[in-house]
Structure 1
Amino acid sequence: MDLLLIFIAGIFILLGIAGSFLPVIPGPLTSWAGILI
């Protein structure tokens, strides 16, 4: 269960970093969601 949460958080953080450069995804909000998980 912990590994699943770490994996999901990592995906959110990577999406947040990508969202900082791509206008489609809200970057900082997605990164914060990954950090808070």
Structure 2
Amino acid sequence: ARTVDVHIARLRKSLTKHGGEDPIRTVRGTGYALG
């Protein structure tokens, strides 16, 4: 599970580095959702 957390963190950092909004939502008990 930590591996997924690390990849999500890297994706978020990459997607928001130019001031963009974070498109990844954390869904409690399920995982992650885009949009």
TM-score class, shorter-chain normalisation, is 0.3 to 0.5
Instruction: State the TM-score, normalized to the length of structure 1.
Output: 0.46
Q: Give the structure with the larger strand fraction.
A: 2
Ranked by relative contact order (alpha carbons within 8 Å, sequence separation 6 or more), the top structure is 1
Q: Which has the higher helix share?
A: 1
TM-score by length of 2: 0.48
